[in-house]
Each structure stands twice: as structure tokens, then as C-alpha cells.
Structure 1
């Protein structure tokens, strides 16, 4: 059996803590698993590193010598990993308007915790970019089938109606969700969150104006071709001087999720997901 870094870290933790229980807590593993790992190391080296009794243990002479060398190896490896991690960039893809302040908090927490950096990549179709490996993780709105990609739901966003400043809706204080279908609906077919698919068959708006991306969608709404429905984050961003926002009553929320490919940079993605989830409560 080859000696691996996990064996060295397990032995060093036990030697420093002088306790299998405390070492297991530090390494976030069970005590039986830690014991097996140290035993595997001794078997691989064919030498006893610890003299155990029912209540305590002591490092053998070989164990004391090996600890010095193991800690030196671990320190050098940690330095090497830190140097490499500082050059790693996670590419976060999004179609439009990252949620705030979630995005700022998630990026900051991840970068501080790992030393890595996050690159924000604007793409009309994040799922396609993810499959093509031009991004590492995507922020996606709407319902997504999890297989074969991994989906982690973060939170839900409220919907708001958008209309031209010249629309008769512009001065409305609110609009009922049931009344949205009475208006022509401008739809972003590539990355929009509201479209004919939002309603049951035959219950959606009678007229649909299709656009291929966010910019086309926005300009079509501003030109009073119809109304749009988007997450509330758009209202806070003042996205266009010629559009107005109307609160919706009774509208279903928009799910917001992180999406990534399985078995690709798993450790790094786990750290990013942890930061993303933690940021939802910040």
C-alpha cells in the first residue's frame, strides 16, 4: 500500500492532539476511521509509530522521528497547494443580472475562504456553456431537471411586471397575476423566466412576442411591443429609462439555483456551493 497525504495528516493530527478523539474532531472524520488510517500507515511503513494503552498512547522513537519529517512534508505541500490555488479561477456564468446582494457576498466569502478568484461570465445560455465547459458553474433561474447536471436550489425571487413608459400600465400601483394573460407578453426564449411554459396549456397570454436574448427583450418592452415579467432584481437595477415596473400580486416565485457538472472539480465546487448557500442568509 502506498503512503498517501491522508495518512500523514491523520498521524500528525493524532500526534499533535495526543488524542484520537480530538484529532478525529479536527479532521471531521469518525474516530474508528482515524484509527484505521493510522494503522494503515504503520502497516505500510512496517513500523509501530504509537505505543497504545487502554487510556493513553506515546509516540515511539520511530514515531517521533517520522512526525518531524511528516510535518515538513505537509507544510511544503500546503505551501504548494496555496500557491496553485491562488491561480485557480472559478468561472461563474449568468444570463443577466446576478441577484444582489447574494452575488457579492457569495463571491467574497468563497475568495476569502479558499484564496481562489471568481470570474463573472455573461452568457445567453449558461446551461449550454456549462456543458461545453466554458464556465464552471452557472446561476440559473427557473425549474431545471437535475439529471445529469447537479442543481442546488438557493432561494426564490419575486416576479415583477415591466412595461413601456407609454403603456397604460405604467401608472398602475399593482397588477394581478391573473391579469397578465390579458396583455401581449414579450418573452426571452433563451434565458427568460416567464413564458408560455409558465402557464398550463391554453391558459397563457393569447399573444407572445419572442426575443432571443435579454437586450432584445428589454428593447421590445421599452418600445411597447408588450409587457414583460422578470425577477424583482431588475426593478432595483434601473435597467432602462424607458420602462416602468409594476408589482405583481399572486405571481409564483422564480427559483434560483446553482448548476454544475458532476465529477468536475468536485472539491472546488463543494467550497463554492458552501459559500453560495451561506450567502443566502447574509
Structure 2
């Protein structure tokens, strides 16, 4: 297990040990992953908890679990380790890519113009578009430098900017009765189950008024499973219009929703120093949205 710079008596190896325990759900498996003994991992975790003054891991049950403090600390530890590793990567010192995360649908219809224009103007800084099934598309964990997110984001330590809004659509089984409708209302979807992507999706039951919510819900963890469940007739879904454009599916029909509020598309970054190219990315994103909407004033983004 590698050592690292110290913060008081704490080193990067303490964070690596904690993250390995969190990922593996076992001190024994974490030790195997880190190629050290189990007592070493236990002592390292204990030292970290003593330094922080909180219990990070609950050892009182048969199945190891993170405490609420451990869950909150996990993202911070992951971001710190990622930043440390990135700073010591000699390849990134020469060509430091700008990593742009998204959970689904990226930048909608503006995705290709953004990537092409960036490559033309800033060939010295590769722009990497990464899909990460996470509510902040890996941003809070330090896996990306910025993220394109949809819907309100409550994660602390993030700075967000609304780039545009898009109309919402219902996603229904292509062979179902709702697929033949020219448009739908939220109430039309309450008779059966609604499929919710609880990991990275922006739709929750709060979209419906209290007392008029769907009869049942089916939860999934990513866009692929969401589409599969809808195509199989297990329920319907709600998403932004970009989903219809970026994720066509033979078994799914997208129908406009008349009464759903528009879905904001955000550019998010962590609060504090970040990749030096972030201001240029934000500027280009604004430029492309303004240009495309000017050239296509009748688009259906909202």
C-alpha cells in the first residue's frame, strides 16, 4: 500500500484503506486488495477515526457498514485520493484532459457541436466525455472535473449554472395504449407503475401533486435498465426531451407531457480551484446553446 503526503498524522494511505473497506464491505477483503495484513488495515482505519474524532465504520453487526459520518466522508476521501493521484500522474502534466461527466443524455443535441468545437479551438486539452451512473456523474467523488446534470442537485460543495431547460416527455411501452396518444398529462401516468432511476435520474414522486401520485413505483439504477423496464411494459417513465433524442429504443415511445415543469440542464463543478480550462468550457457551452437556439428557434428543448 503506497504512502503519501501527511496531513498532521494522517497520510493518503489512511484514505485508501478506508475507501477499500467501504468498497469491499470487509476488512479482510480490503486487506487482500491492498496487499497488506488485516491487522494493518484495522489499525489504519482506527488511526483515521481517532484523527477525525468520529466512527466511520459500524462493526457492531455481522455485516460491516458505514456510519452516516462514514457515508459523508467517503466522497471527500475519494476526491482527495483522486486529486493526489492526478497530481502525481506524469502523463497529465503533459496533456491534462478535461473530464466532463454525465449520467445520461450528455449535452443533449448540443453534445456533438460542443465536442467538435472544443477540439478545433483547444486541441492541446482533450475533452473526455464520461458517463458515470451517479447523481453528480462522479463530480463529488473527484472522478471528473465538471459534469452535465439534470434537475436540482443538493450535493454540498458544488457550483452550478443552468445552461438551458428542456421539456419533459413520458416514456411508455411502444406497444401500449399510451403510445398512440399525441400528448399526455402527469395524471395519465398514475394508473400503473412509474419507473424511477433512483441513482442518477432526476424524476421523483415529488413531480406529482400529493394525493395524485402513481399507484406504484419500480426503481432501477441506470438509464439502460430504465429503458428495458419500460419496453417490457413494467411501467412508464418521465425524462427530458434529450433522452428521446439520445436514447432511442425500439420498445419505447416518447410522448410529450403537457403539464410537467421543464427540466433544467446544469453545468456543475466543485467549489474551489479546479482544472484551468473550466472557464473556457463554461463559455463555450453558453455560446453553443445560444447559437443553436438562435439558428433553430422552434426547437423543443423548452
Whether the TM-score (by the shorter chain) exceeds 0.5 is yes
Match of 2:109 among 101, 107, 110: 101
In structure 1, what is the equivalent of residue 89 of structure 2? Answer: none
Task: Kindly indicate whether the alpha-carbon contact (under 8 Å) linking 1:92 and 1:135 is maintained by their aligned counterparts in 2.
Answer: yes
CA gap of 1:172–1:86, structure 2 versus 1, over 3 A, is: farther
For residues 236 and 128 of structure 1, the distance between their equivalents in structure 2, rounded to whole angstroms, comes to: 20
The RMSD of aligned alpha carbons is 2.2
For 1:58-97, what per-residue CA distance to the aligned partner results, in whole angstroms no more than 9, with x for missing partners?
xxxxxxxxxxxxxxxxxxxxxxxxxx99722111111112
1:160 paired residue number: 169
Q: Per-residue deviation at 1:194? A: 1.6
Q: Give distance in 1, aligned partners of 2:231 and 2:197.
A: 14
Ranges in structure 1 where 5+ consecutive residues have no aligned partner = 1-83
Q: Does the 8 Å contact 2:139/2:146 carry over to 1?
A: yes
Matching of residues 136-175 of structure 1 within 5 Å? 136-145=145-154, 147-175=156-184
Cα distance in 2 between the residues matched to 1:249 and 1:198: 13
Quick check: 2:102–2:130 contact (8 Å CA) kept in 1? yes
> Aligned partners of 1:106, 1:86: CA distance in 2, in Å?
23
Stretches of structure 2 that go unaligned for 5 or more consecutive residues are: 1-91, 292-302
- The worse-fitting range, judged by mean Cα deviation, of 105-114 and 92-101 is 105-114
Deviation >4 Å, runs of 4+: none
Q: 1:270 to 1:85 in 2, by over 3 A?
A: farther
Residues 26-45 of structure 1 aligned to structure 2 (within 5 Å): none
What corresponds to 1:87 in structure 2?
95
Matches within 5 A, 1:107-126: 107-115=115-123, 116-125=125-134
SS in 2 for 1:250: coil
Secondary structure of 1:236 counterpart: helix
Structure 2 residue aligned with 1:270:
279
Contact 2:102–2:137 at 8 Å: present in 1 too?
no
**Could you tell me which of 208, 220, 226 is aligned with 2:217?**
208
CA change 1:273–1:237 in 2 (3 A) is: closer
Aligned length: 199
Distance 1:101 1:165, change over 3 A: closer
| Residue 164 of structure 1, CA deviation | 1.1
C-alpha contact (below 8 Å) 1:185/1:207 kept by paired residues: yes
Could you state the TM-score of these two structures normalised by the residue count of structure 1?
0.64
SS class of match (1:130):
coil
Distance across 1 between alignment mates of 2:284 and 2:94: 17
Q: What TM-score, normalized by structure 2, do the two folds share?
A: 0.60
Query: 1:201: how far off?
Result: 4.0
Measure, in 2, the Cα distance between the counterparts of 1:195 and 1:189.
8
1:86/1:105 CA distance change after superposition, 3 Å: farther
